[in-house]
Amino acid sequence: MGNIANKMPWSHARHLDRPPSLYAWDVDPPGNIGGASGVTDNEDRALRHVHHELVDAPLGTRGIVRRVGLAGISGRVYADLGTVATARRDETTGAVVWQ
């Protein structure tokens, strides 16, 4: 049957030797009413999503970007591999503050 990676375009084959990097992002307003979340394979995109959501969020809203990996056989569960960045909408100035 041969090596399947040799039969695939480079963009697909390069991921066969290691799992893809995934980034989960969450934005939670005070009281956890509403909010937004998602998963992407691009760290910068995850950071932009959090920033975009925080700009118009209620004061005190917090956001987080975490590196995650697929867990379990189903591939529908993510294992938290660590925090990349956190941010909040400052309650005094309204600015988005990254930590």
pLDDT at 13 over 90: no
62 and 27 in contact (C-beta within 8 Å)? yes
Element (H, E) at 49: helix 43-55
Please report the beta strands in 53-98, taking only residues with DSSP state E, as ranges in sequence order: 62-71, 77-89, 96-98
* pTM, full prediction: 0.77
Q: Is 41 left (phi over 0), alpha (psi -120 to 50) or beta?
A: alpha
Does residue 99 have a pLDDT over 70? yes
Dump pLDDT digits (tens) for 31-89: 877 899 999 999 999 999 999 999 999 999 999 999 999 887 776 788 999 999 999 99
